[in-house]
Structure 1
Amino acid sequence: MTGPTPRTIAEHLTATLARVRPLEVVDVPLVEAVDALGLVLARDVAATAPVPAFDNSAMDGYAVRRSELPEDGTEVTLPVLADIRPGPTSDVVGAILGPIRPGSRDESGQESRPQPPGVVRIMTGAPLPAGFDAVVPVERTSTGRFVAGRPTTERTVTLARQPRDHVRRAGTDVATGDRLASTGGVVTAGLVAVAAAAGLTTLAVHRRPRVAVVSTGSELAAPGSTAPGTIPDSNSLMLAALAREAGADVVRVGAVPDDAAALTATLDHVAPGVDLVVTSGGVSAGASDVVREVLATGSPTDVEIAAVAVRPGRPQALASWRGVPWIAVPGNPVSALVSFTLFARPALRRLAGHRGAPTVRTARAAVGWPSPPGAEQVLPVVIGPDGVTPAASDGHHLSGLPAADALAVVPADVAQVSPGDEVTVHPLGEDRS
């Protein structure tokens, strides 16, 4: 293990991402798709059936044959031959037309049935019977309206030719083979709906990442504790929330004391069941920095200790524990949030199968603020109509985090941000892009 290596944010991110790769592909049944929302598609999604699956009525009314309706729109009175409702339907026309008339044949030579004039009472979504090519809405007929639950009562109906057919034709929305979503997209409620309608039963996705969150420090206590000399363990709660927000399943261990044996035992316990370990604290150069102590023991492999030229968040480390990637971030809560957003969140995205980096954009500063020389400044900010404003008077203050909706990154060679200057902005919160 070597000493700290000076790095930029971009260099440390590259080193972090080199340690992870997309997780394996699983087929998720559509009936369980609520648990797959946000997962990344591993293959294109193509329709296996058309939508609509068959010609069906777009209105409550009467199925007609246009050839029986005068071209000039003159009303005619026709018999009502049958009543079709949505749901499994047998050959309604066959039931209507009766037995085949001997000796009558169609163009293919098959025996055919006579087609008596008339209409079919039909409800929205019901299949259009063969031979019928349009629907006249009930409100445009002598019937006026249907009464729910009442069977067919009208023997005849008076209606006229309509300019629209009010029929949803098979495959006009989705054709068999149409691509519904591409590899790298995410599972959404809308995709689930169209996939089910188009005949699919499963979606191929990358498995959801599982991350262990561990905070270190003998001074840490459970929230609500009033023991002298302790502080609440906010880091493990915050990092667990950030990991869940990034789409991962989370194992939150909580605080581990500054004891190398205790941390080793904790890592041994959680590593077999997760895809990534994130620890906070103990990564600097203090006498109680237990993460640095464990990193020096030889138990972890591929250890990289880095001094990233960023404020806050300078001390960072990367390693593998029993083959599981390990990201170690500082213990200051704002430093931990910054480090997770810049390094751990992109790593989780790669594990989840995302191809691109988290959303990053530029915004203008609404006010001015100083920036420390020689390091990239990362500052929690609020995005308003006039640009970005620091969320707190001091970037290390926890009080600014509830209002912050982004992190602004100021280049290392900028000592003063002026109103109107452009800064890079990393949005906080859910990111499914």
Structure 2
Amino acid sequence: MTAPKDKSADGAPGEFSLGWTVLLAALLGVTCGASPIPFNLIAFTVEPLSAEFGWSRTEIIFPATIYGLIASFLAPLFGWMADRYGVRPVALWSLFAFGIALAAIALTPISNDQTTLYTYYGLWIIIGLVGIGSTPVTWSRAINLWFFKHRGLALGILLLGTSIAALIVPKIAVWAIAEYGWRNMFAIMALLPLLIALPVAYFLFRDPTPAERPRAIGGADGRLTGMTLSRTIRGYRFHIMWVSITIVAGCYAGAFINMPTILADKGLSAQTAASVMGVLGIGILVGRLLTGALLDRFWQGFVAFPLLCLPAITCVILLGDDVSFMMAAVAAFFLGFAAGAESDLIAYLAGRYFGMLHYGKIYGSLYMPFGIASALSSILYAYVRDVTGSYDAVLIVAFFGFIIGGALLLLLGRYPDNFDVAPEPSSDALPSLA
């Protein structure tokens, strides 16, 4: 990755020239952090854990819900710490703790009793307690501080980390389980945050100095400006975003996780479903980059509403009785595209509508409904399938959910021109890895 040749209007170095190394480090932090890795490897533990312990599929997949819920409730706390102490100490310590906790799953007892299951769950609880600081909740704050004119594109590049993880983590997991067993797979996977993301972030990642920040995010005296969390919550925009995020995430996550079984119900083979999921991953990647670029040029409502309506087409296609590979691929691409768009939107809208002074707490509070709805959605989709024998009922609900969730963002209005200037948090630091 090389620094783009950009300059500001006055001839000073542009945002990418100043911040590209930080963006690279943050990209690797997201890729190897606690946002994508747990969800991309846990499905591959079903067969070996079932064979060794006799646990049900629900018992084996349940840690993803445990982790998702705990991380979601802690997101505002880690966001506050990033606001208070800076992103660098929070993100680096969380990467380190996440790697150690992930490796510790290799120590799951061999004995086959109920205590073993509870121990396994307990290790996942620890991941939830320490890992959220290595997710976009923290990294996106720094990128918002380095970028303004090209903020949408920079956030899109940052969030490509989850797409990259989706491409490499399953392959590593399958190889490691086949060669060394599922326990050692967790230890091997822990090397990603510990030996790749952490060293790069240690040397390349830092928060910008006041002089390096884009002028648009500060007041006349250079201090950051923005709304407090309490003032934000009292405003209508926060609640509109909260409801929109909950609806869209609740509709999306279940469709994503259950896509292979939805396609199996339509008569498509497992190999075909795997190819369709690859197309979905491409949709996420394209959605993140294109959405970011569009947000830099147009008001978010003109971007968000049409893009979040795309998965409604996905629902219509999947309601059909005869779904070909081509139609399934189109459905998956639209679903993935909208998923990439939503992830960009949460980080972008938090900064543009509420400012950067208390961004971490506010973003964490908006991440909470995203994480909770995503964690519960997969169970809801599966429950509807078990009760009714079909996914059609929940797909019909999701059709309207995607449209309503996107339309709500049209009510946010124009971006604020400025924010009340308030003192920045003091620079008391957490113990630093530097």
The structure in which a higher percent of residues are strand is 1
Superposed pair shares fold, TM > 0.5: no
User: Which structure's relative contact order is higher, taking Cα pairs within 8 Å and 6+ residues apart?
Assistant: 2
The structure in which a higher percent of residues are helix is 2
TM class by shorter chain equals under 0.3
Q: Point out the structure with max Rg over C-alpha.
A: 1
TM-score (structure 1 length as normaliser): 0.22
